[in-house]
Structure 1
Amino acid sequence: MLQYAADGQEKNLREMYDDVAAALQLTDEDRRQLLPSRKQLTYHNRAGWAKTYLLKAGLVENAGRGRYRITETGRQVLAQRPERLTRRDLMRYGDFVAFVGAVPPDSGPPETIPAEEATPDDTLERLHQTLRDQLAQDLLEAVRSAAPAFFEQLVVDLLVAMGYGGTVRDAGRAIGRSGDGGIDGIIKQDRLGLENIYVQAKRWSGNVGSPEVRNFAGSLQYHKATRGVLITTSDFSQGARETARHLGGTLLVSGEELAQLMIDHGVGVTTAVVYEVKRLDRDYFERD
């Protein structure tokens, strides 16, 4: 970005995104990549933070709405012909240090300087994923240690939260205990009951293999259901997954996937805290 502004002319941020992407030879796939939040293109996010970092370090300056240009300090940096410019390099500038809330390199131990070239968005996404992964582990442990009757109700609650089976009462009547610590039954895919789904959920101790999947497919035909969901608190073998793909109409849900679905649909979890992250609405400021 600094090299892009080397000619001293004002640069438009929107044009900069594509021009810098072309200079870096980003592929179409690279340009389509989204952040884990699915809210923003990754290369737009990286370029936006790069501009912010350069601005805070005093290497570029704002030149009006959505525009920037290089400063004399920025020209001096380019005159040194650096191969690359990292966050660590910017730590020599006091305003940038104040911005990131870190300690200058010569006044503290090296470990005070982040080793990873990550933007705040990267860090936030990574920490959120870490918390989610830990929550999924906690959920799975709780599910595995729950009583059979509780496990039955959990699956019913999840299916209803996902929009299947009508009400909890309807789904509870349709799905019954299988007698071996699991559940077994037919639920409605929609409120009108135009299509039925056969559901089995069991707390197998080991991985579920191909024989169990084939037996499930047979039950699917017996119950005249068009689709089926087989849920386990453990996992499925590679052979079991291949069998399900070959037979078709069967969705396998492992323990890990079950925990993720519970998080996504708010079953067995509660919101601890919400951090609302806002961004500048450039369209608001660029109106005629």
Structure 2
Amino acid sequence: MTVDPTWDQYMAPALPVLLDGEVHRARDICTSAADLLGVSAEKRLETIPSGQQRYRNRANWALSYLYRAGAAERPVRGHYRITDAGRKLCADHPDGIKEKDLASLDGPVPNPPVVDPPDEPTELDPVEQVSLGVERLHSAVATDLLNRLHANEPVFFEQAVLDLIMAMGYGGAEGTASRTQLSNDGGIDGIVDQDALGLSRIYVQAKRFALDATIHRPTIQAFVGALHGNQANQGVFITTARFSSGARAYADSVPTRVVLIDGPRLASLMIRYSVGVQVNQTVHIVEVDEDFFE
């Protein structure tokens, strides 16, 4: 059985669940279809970016397409019942139903505007396709961000890091962030005061290394020493490079709270908190408001 069925592969097992002619809840249909497909318990726990379980999202899309094609009807919200067209579809395609097979039905709503659907099943449902597209765009932006950070002067990088920490809310309502003097920073590149009096401080070291470089344990040991020299109990080491496993293990082992942020995570946080990026386009995904038609 398919380990991770595509959304259109849920159409075939969804119809047999409805063959008794009774009205079934969408949730129950999704579960039964997943059982027939042999979807493991582990796979059922996987979610899409919205937080919904992936298998349930794909099964719901299958039900939606079956309804739009006239293979199933929806007498009440969230409930489905098979139609005569659905029984015929189930009988005509015992080995599986593809999106193009729905074109032969006279549904209550025109089929989606798909031209020459491919023979291979579509792996992702429409929402997943949008999410994947956004992930690809963010991946390209992340690479561009790191390249630009590496190409700029150290002062620019240090300020960008402090801007990010403030954008994440660590400066508080009245907190401040400041860079230390480059000639005598004592291993500390910036200080974030989380309150107006500076009673709670985060010490920052920002290192603009080559993107393929690796930071090892001695560098983190030196940072911890700088924290001790400032009687600090927490610090953040941010870089465009990566950390070795030894460096991460050391940071986890010391009493001082040390957070390591490598290049990929730095770029991800900059995108998340809109530092160095701007929104190019906003996409609104809509669905029918069932309450409106109740």
Please give the TM-score of this superposition, normalised by the length of structure 1. Answer: 0.82
| Aligned with residue 228 of structure 1, among 235, 238, 241 | 235
The residue number in structure 2 matching 1:100 is 112
> Is residue 202 from structure 1 mapped to residue 207 from structure 2 by the alignment?
yes
Distance 1:8 1:199 in 2: 66
Q: Which amino acid aligns with 1:221?
A: H
Which region of structure 1 is more displaced relative to structure 2, 129-138 or 140-149? 140-149
Q: Structure 1's 92 and 215: CA in aligned 2 closer, same or farther, altered over 3 A?
A: farther
Deviation string 1:216-268 (CA, Å, 9 cap, x unpaired) is: 12222222222211011111122222222233621111112111111111111
1:276, distance to aligned residue in structure 2 (A): 1.3
The residue number in structure 2 matching 1:4 is 17
1:150, distance to aligned residue in structure 2 (A): 1.8
1:79, distance to aligned residue in structure 2 (A): 2.5
Q: Structure 1's 271 and 168: CA in aligned 2 closer, same or farther, altered over 3 A?
A: farther
| Aligned with residue 170 of structure 2, among 161, 164, 186 | 164
Equivalent pair of 2:164/2:273 in contact (CA under 8 Å): yes
Equivalent pair of 1:209/1:237 in contact (CA under 8 Å): yes
Equivalent pair of 1:65/1:286 in contact (CA under 8 Å): no
Gap regions ≥5 residues in structure 2: 1-13
The residue number in structure 2 matching 1:126 is 132
Distance 1:94 1:251 in 2: 60
Equivalent pair of 2:173/2:195 in contact (CA under 8 Å): no
Distance 1:286 1:212 in 2: 63
Equivalent pair of 2:270/2:276 in contact (CA under 8 Å): yes
- What does 1:75-114 correspond to in 2, within 5 Å? 75-80=87-92, 82-90=94-102, 92-93=104-105, 99-104=111-116
Equivalent pair of 1:198/1:228 in contact (CA under 8 Å): yes
SS of the residue corresponding to residue 270 of structure 2 reads helix
Gap regions ≥5 residues in structure 1: none
Q: Structure 1's 71 and 196: CA in aligned 2 closer, same or farther, altered over 3 A?
A: same
- What does 1:218-257 correspond to in 2, within 5 Å? 218-247=225-254, 249-257=257-265
1:133, distance to aligned residue in structure 2 (A): 0.6
- For this pair of structures, how many residues does the alignment match? 277
> Is residue 34 from structure 1 mapped to residue 39 from structure 2 by the alignment?
no
Deviation string 1:84-107 (CA, Å, 9 cap, x unpaired) is: 3333544555769953322246xx
Distance 2:150 2:99 in 1: 45
The residue number in structure 1 matching 2:83 is 71
Distance 2:16 2:129 in 1: 26
| Aligned with residue 116 of structure 1, among 93, 118, 122 | 122
SS of the residue corresponding to residue 156 of structure 2 reads helix
Distance 2:261 2:63 in 1: 43
| Aligned with residue 192 of structure 2, among 187, 190, 202 | 187
Q: Which amino acid aligns with 1:13?
A: A
Q: Structure 1's 177 and 207: CA in aligned 2 closer, same or farther, altered over 3 A?
A: farther
1:139, distance to aligned residue in structure 2 (A): 1.0
| Aligned with residue 273 of structure 2, among 258, 262, 265 | 265
Deviation string 1:160-187 (CA, Å, 9 cap, x unpaired) is: 1111235798312xx3144499962332
The residue number in structure 1 matching 2:180 is 176
Please give the TM-score of this superposition, normalised by the length of structure 2. Answer: 0.80
SS of the residue corresponding to residue 214 of structure 2 reads coil
Equivalent pair of 1:140/1:233 in contact (CA under 8 Å): yes
Distance 1:129 1:97 in 2: 32
Q: Which amino acid aligns with 2:258?
A: T
Q: CA RMSD in A?
A: 3.2
> Is residue 216 from structure 1 mapped to residue 229 from structure 2 by the alignment?
no
Distance 2:70 2:64 in 1: 10
